[in-house]
């Protein structure tokens, strides 16, 4: 266990916001976490406690006057396998993309489309990360947690996790912030079946002169990485948290109203009465793409991403967030909800 006092959080959030925590605790096993929680209950329980992951979905609005927990549980073990599938237990502190690569290298498939998404395995299970037609929740069989309130451990079966678009039970009001994910059990396939139905994926494969039947999982991973790198800024170069807003799910009547003015408005069907409208498109129509507000800006290649041009505070990003939300609401009567979690006082 490592304890860092008055610790800068700059390296712990991909926006690169230079907030400070009173104490940052890194633990590398469930036992270490339980030992720390015991100490916390005895000596520090008046201070707020926050568990972070890779910091790729966080916006610190102020310094954090309390304790931040960070997992370095990094073991991987196979629990079960047969000809078709494998069940793998993965430590929550492993970087999600490192596990995607590890899985492909071991002939375990299903995660390819989620390549290069930042963050840790534990947070991927909380956030139900998704991209290019895949969502991690569909590949998660079980999640093991420790309660931050009383140190009790619990296994959650897939059906208890309430996975839906960027949502799990751990984001519900009653459960939010109350658990540390320690291990995630993935169920992956031993036979590779590429998922190419999302947008331009099939054409990217064809552009490489690869027949979809001959496509390998590693080639698909490389295509996904290339696609993401074209549009999404590298957080190591320019601070950002990927998609800042969720794509709003609206009734088809709202889409029809938009289509009267924009017949080519993009959308994804959710069910017979609802569609998802890309927030990036809505923001672009409002003229925000590439625009700045102080040191915060809307990325010039993907309007869904807000960036820290250098030295921005959480409040600078929040100001831009509110201005973008207001423009979209005024023009489309749609309220954008942030995908990013705000921490601290605004
Ligand atoms: N669009 C614009 N202008 C923009 C951005 C998008 O017009 O500035 C339009 C384009 O027409 C495009 C459509 O919006 O066809 C959809 O855009 P894109 O395919 O880039 O995907 P997205 O809906 O913007 C979602 C996820 C991403 C994920 C991609 C690919 C959310 C909130 N975001 O973005 O996830 O990588 O699909 O599957 O669902 C993340 O969560 O951090 C993330 C990057």
122 and 216 in one domain? Answer: yes
Q: Do residues 119 and 54 lie in contact, with contact meaning Cβ atoms separated by under 8 Å?
A: yes
Pairwise CA distance, residues 248 & 237, whole Å: 29
Tell me how far the alpha carbon of residue 92 lies from the centroid of ligand 1, in angstroms: 26
Domain end call among 231, 258, 293: 231
109 and 134 in one domain? Answer: yes
Q: Which of 243, 272, 284, 330 is catalytic?
A: 243
Q: Check: pTM over 0.85? Answer yes or no.
A: yes
211 and 83 in one domain? Answer: yes
More confident residue, 89 or 197: 89
CA 246 to ligand 1: nearest atom: 32
Per the annotation, the verdict on 176 as an active-site residue is no
The confidence score (pLDDT) of residue 199 equals: 75
For residue 29, the domain's CATH number is 3.30.43.10
CA angle 123, 311, 278 (to 5 degrees): 50
135 within ligand 1 shell (Cβ under 6 A)? no
Domain end call among 169, 203, 231: 231
| Average pLDDT of the residues in 89-114 | 98
Host domain of residue 245: 239-343
Number of folded domains that form the chain: 3
Please list, in sequence order, all residues whose beta carbon lies within 8 angstroms of the beta carbon of residue 58, skipping any fewer than 6 positions away: 13, 15, 52, 241, 340, 341, 343
281 within ligand 1 shell (Cβ under 6 A)? yes
For residue 105, the domain's CATH number is 3.30.465.10
- 4-32 pLDDT, tens digit each: 999 999 999 999 999 999 999 999 999 99
62 and 17 in one domain? Answer: yes
Domain end call among 231, 251, 282: 231
Token pair of 224 as six digits? 């996904």
pLDDT band at 200 (very low <50, low <70, confident <90, very high): confident
Pairwise CA distance, residues 122 & 31, whole Å: 17
Q: Which of 71, 166, 168, 221 is catalytic?
A: 166
223 and 248 in one domain? Answer: no
95 and 24 in one domain? Answer: no
107 and 36 in one domain? Answer: no
227 and 90 in one domain? Answer: yes
Q: Alpha-carbon torsion 178, 119, 237, 282, what sign?
A: negative
85 and 219 in one domain? Answer: yes
60 and 25 in one domain? Answer: yes
Mutate to test the pocket of ligand 1, among 131, 202, 337, 338 (most ligand atoms within 8 A of CB): 131
300 and 276 in one domain? Answer: yes
82 and 186 in one domain? Answer: yes
Integer CA distances (angstroms), 186 to 67, 256, 267, 298, 328, in order: 30, 40, 30, 35, 38
- 281-338 pLDDT, tens digit each: 999 999 999 999 999 999 999 999 999 999 999 999 999 999 999 999 999 999 999 9
pLDDT band at 159 (very low <50, low <70, confident <90, very high): very high
Tell me how far the alpha carbon of residue 81 lies from the centroid of ligand 1, in angstroms: 35
Please list, in sequence order, all residues whose beta carbon lies within 8 angstroms of the beta carbon of residue 110, skipping any fewer than 6 positions away: 103, 134, 138, 139, 186, 188, 189
Is the pLDDT assigned to residue 213 strictly greater than 80? yes
% the chain with pLDDT above 90: 98
Closest C-alpha among 306, 264, 313, 268 to residue 289: 306
pLDDT band at 346 (very low <50, low <70, confident <90, very high): confident
């Amino acid at each position: 266990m490592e304890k860092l006092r008055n610790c800068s959080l700059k390296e712990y959030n991909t926006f690169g916001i230079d907030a400070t925590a009173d104490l940052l605790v890194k633990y590398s096993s469930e036992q270490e976490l339980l030992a720390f929680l015991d100490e916390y209950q005895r000596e520090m329980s008046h201070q707020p406690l926050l568990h972070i992951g890779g910091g790729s979905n966080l916006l610190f609005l102020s310094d954090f006057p309390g304790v931040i927990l960070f997992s370095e549980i990094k073991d991987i073990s196979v629990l079960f396998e047969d000809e078709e599938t494998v069940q793998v237990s993965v430590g929550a502190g492993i970087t999600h993309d490192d596990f995607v690569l590890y899985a492909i290298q071991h002939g375990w498939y299903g995660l390819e489309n989620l390549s290069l998404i930042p963050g840790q395995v534990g947070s991927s299970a909380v956030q139900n990360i998704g991209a290019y037609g895949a969502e991690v929740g569909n590949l998660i069989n079980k999640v093991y947690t420790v309660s931050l309130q009383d140190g009790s451990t619990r296994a959650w079966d897939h059906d208890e996790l309430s996975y839906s678009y960027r949502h799990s039970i751990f984001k519900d009001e009653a459960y939010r912030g109350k658990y540390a994910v320690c291990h995630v059990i993935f169920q992956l396939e031993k036979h590779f079946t590429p998922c190419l139905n999302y947008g331009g994926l099939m054409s990217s494969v064809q552009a490489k002169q690869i027949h979809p039947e001959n496509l390998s999982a590693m080639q698909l991973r490389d295509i996904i990485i290339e696609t993401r790198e074209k549009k999404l800024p590298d957080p190591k170069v320019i601070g950002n948290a990927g998609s800042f807003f969720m794509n709003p799910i609206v009734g088809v009547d709202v889409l029809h109203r938009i289509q009267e003015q924009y017949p080519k408005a993009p959308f994804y069907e959710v069910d017979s009465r609802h569609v998802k409208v890309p927030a990036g498109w809505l923001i672009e129509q409002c003229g925000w793409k590439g625009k700045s507000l102080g040191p915060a800006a809307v990325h010039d290649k993907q309007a869904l991403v807000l960036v820290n041009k250098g030295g921005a505070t959480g409040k600078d990003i929040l100001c831009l967030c509110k201005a973008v939300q207001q423009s979209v609401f005024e023009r489309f009567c749609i309220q954008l909800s942030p995908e990013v979690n705000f921490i601290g006082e605004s």
